Amino acid sequence: MTHKNLALVSGANGHLGNNLVRLLLKKGIPVRASVRNIKNAAGFKDLDCEVVQADITDRASFKRALQGVDTFYAVGAAFKLWAKDPKKEIYDVNMQGTRNTIEAAAEAGVKRIIYVSSIAALDYTHLPTKESNGYNPDRRDMYYNSKNDGERLAFQLAKELGIELVSVMPGAMIGSEAFSPLSVSYGILKLILNNQIPIDTKITLNWIDVKDVAEGCFLAAQKGRSGERYILANEKCMTITDTTKLAQKLYPELKLKIPGSVPKFMLYAIAGFMELMAKISGKPPLLTTKDIAMFSGLQQDFDISKSTNELGFNPKNNEQAVKEALAYLMEHNMLLEAPDQNL
């Protein structure tokens, strides 16, 4: 099947991937959607797109999937903050995946790649954080490292192989179409609604509506300058506790408790205990000491003027995004199933 303007979206049954497929189809763009497991097709019911199997760890599968493709939206990646062997399961997968997919795209004659990076690949030492600050110097987390090193590798390969590549850097995506298991960010809202956040961790998130990020990816394909990076987030972040207060106000019937503040050494003790339990059970801990060390008190405020001015990116604010995402979870009864293991 060859079409002019054919777009391939990888990771197409993930939260962003699936919303991006829907957006492109609405814009009249022919879409090929690639998924790691072809049996996971719930997200494509009633969608007029071709679904193919491709895995970022298998370069040949992407060479096939990218035949005849004009624009490649590289969304697929391992998105988890905890694994038994984080280097092997997160870092190596994402680095190898970046290399495999970009090399395959160049071989298949793809014109342009929209590479989905993350706000994790930014340097937070000067606020508000902007693209030109460079990369994150904090090397304690393998997912973060994979995003920093993966984006650098993506730009380097694109240059060597003579292919246009634009990087987009989303915040914590929530809202809209979602399938179980929920993504990490969405999972946090579920924990809030299920009253499962026991303490105030002073962790902030930069909530952004996934549909706004999908729109930002499309705008980057149209107007983004090759070799440039664009933040797709809101200007302001919100603590998990303030997010809980908002949920409490919207859904009094849930009788949500506002997590209490504890001294930092207590946070470390609680997280340490959760990690110990995780080792025994093999299930991801709700909180790790690294989360506290890296994120407690970290302000995730951004200067998004580059995306606004160059792309026309115009997201709804974080409070509105949270309201709509909570409403989606409530309407779709996504609360009471067993907590997602990828959190």
Averaged pLDDT, 278-283: 90
Decide: 336 and 230 in contact? Cβ < 8 Å: no
Strand order through the sheet with 229-232: 50-53, 31-35, 7-9, 71-74, 112-116, 164-170, 229-232
Backbone angles phi, psi at 342, to 5 degrees: -90, 10
Averaged pLDDT, 319-338: 85
pLDDT value at residue 184: 86
Residue 233 corresponds to which tokens in the numbers above?
A: 């987030």
pLDDT value at residue 343: 37
* Per-residue pLDDT tens digits for 195-206: 999 899 999 999
- pLDDT class for 133, splitting at 50, 70, 90? very high
* Per-residue pLDDT tens digits for 101-112: 999 999 999 999
Averaged pLDDT, 3-15: 91
| Residue from 14, 25, 12 nearest 218 by CA | 25
pLDDT value at residue 42: 83
Per DSSP, the residues of 235-272 read: SS-EEHHHHHHHHHHH-GGG-PPPPEE--HHHHHHHHH
Residue 109 corresponds to which tokens in the numbers above?
A: 């004659």
| Residue from 67, 76, 69 nearest 40 by CA | 76
Burial (Cβ within 10 Å: 0-12, 13-18, ≥19) of residue 48: exposed
pLDDT value at residue 338: 45
Which of 75-79, 120-124, 211-215, 260-264 bottoms out in mean pLDDT, i.e. has the lowest?
75-79
* Per-residue pLDDT tens digits for 144-171: 999 999 999 999 999 999 999 999 999 9
pLDDT at 129 over 70: yes
pTM reported for the whole predicted model: 0.94
- pLDDT class for 339, splitting at 50, 70, 90? very low
DSSP single-letter state for residue 224: P
pLDDT value at residue 337: 52
pLDDT value at residue 177: 85
pLDDT value at residue 47: 95
pLDDT value at residue 40: 84
- pLDDT class for 342, splitting at 50, 70, 90? very low
**Every domain of the chain and the residues it spans:** 7-173+209-233+301-315
Which of 153-162, 170-179, 216-225 bottoms out in mean pLDDT, i.e. has the lowest?
170-179
Helix (H, G, I), strand (E, B) or coil at 23: helix
Q: How far is Cα 192 from Cα 198, in angstroms, rounded to an integer?
A: 9
pLDDT value at residue 2: 52
What percent of the chain stands above pLDDT 70? 97
Backbone angles phi, psi at 118, to 5 degrees: -165, 155
Averaged pLDDT, 52-57: 95
DSSP H or E segment with residue 50: strand 50-53
Backbone angles phi, psi at 150, to 5 degrees: -65, -40
| Residue from 174, 179, 180, 195 nearest 286 by CA | 195
**For all residues of the chain together, what is the average pLDDT?**
93
Q: How far is Cα 314 from Cα 294, in angstroms, rounded to an integer?
A: 29
What percent of the chain stands above pLDDT 90? 86
CATH architecture of 7-173+209-233+301-315: 3-Layer(aba) Sandwich (3.40)
Spatial CB neighbours of 278, under 8 Å, sequence gap ≥ 6: 82, 284, 285
